[in-house]
Amino acid sequence: MAAEGTGICAGRVVAVTGAGRGLGRAHALAFAAEGARVVVNDLGVGLDGTPAADSPAERVAEEIRGAGGEAVAHAGDIATSEGAASLVATALDAFGRLDTLVNNAGFLRDRMLVNLDEDDWDAVVRVHLKGHFLPLRYAAGHWRAETKAGRPPRARVVNTSSGAGLLGSVGQANYAAAKAGILALTLVAAAELARYGVQVNALAPAARTRMTERTFAATMAAPRDDGFDAMAPENVSPLVVWLGSPACEGVTGRVFEAEAGRITVMEGWRPGPTAEKPARRNPAEAGEAARALLASATAPLPVHGTAPDPP
């Protein structure tokens, strides 16, 4: 498959979680097309996280091998220590190394906040947030050991957040909270792992997948007359491949949005207007200062799913 691309990832070993369908599958195929050997992880569950009968990871691995690439399937649960550790072990056993980790696995259990029960909260936070932490933890442990052995890697991690994590999303409190947590995890990991040659970035993609087709069905653009499908998952993968390659040297701790042909660097929390007083305020004074600051602050972007104000 490398001959079809630029070879930007030639020789690298890449593990992609949730790679049986949608964005993960597109990423796995794109890495393989650029010369990478790929570990295709997918637990094979349904949209809500319940077990399914098929093995999408093996299908994608077979697709890569059928096109001349190298790939192995991994069906472990990466939100468990055993599954995350075995993901790294699979890469080492099959290909002798691990260079890039793409954390992508996830599912939805959407409810309005007053109807969201504890099980739905725990399940979504587990697979998205814990399912990012554990593979990152075990991959980082391997890369630290490599550094201490005198073999410093040029390792890359690409985490998957969402516009819901950046702005919030009505009916998705569990998902939005997990995706926001992934952004903070990305910042911490980038700072802590730089000494081991690891770069960590995050992506907030917008594309047509099993997770989004029902939620955003009314707003997703149809393919244009020229055949370009703006919401195809494959549009997001080139940025992921670049972030997973040596070519992105020096880029770490950043968050990108990607949709169709658009790439945006997101700029997170920064100090805005500030009021100083060399003494403690009473509540009324604190409120007066806050009101004045809000009047000069930039208004936040709307939460996804909120209706615009009436004219």
Q: Which residues are designated catalytic? A: 162, 175, 179
Angle, CA 203 vertex, CA 160 and CA 177 arms, to 5°:
55
Reading the block at residue 259, the tokens are 């949709």
Provide the edge-to-edge strand list for the sheet that holds 255-259. 71-74, 37-41, 13-16, 100-103, 155-160, 198-206, 255-259, 262-266
Reading the block at residue 42, the tokens are 């997918």
Letter for the amino acid at 296? S
Question: What does the alpha-carbon distance between residue 120 and residue 128 come to, in Å, rounded to a whole number?
Answer: 12
Other CB atoms closer than 10 Å to residue 218's CB: what's the count?
Answer: 6
Residues 6+ apart with CB under 8 A from 183: 161, 165, 166, 202, 255, 268
Reading the block at residue 41, the tokens are 């992880």
Question: What does the alpha-carbon distance between residue 292 and residue 186 come to, in Å, rounded to a whole number?
Answer: 34
Beta strands in the chain (DSSP E): 13-16, 37-41, 71-74, 100-103, 155-160, 198-206, 255-259, 262-266
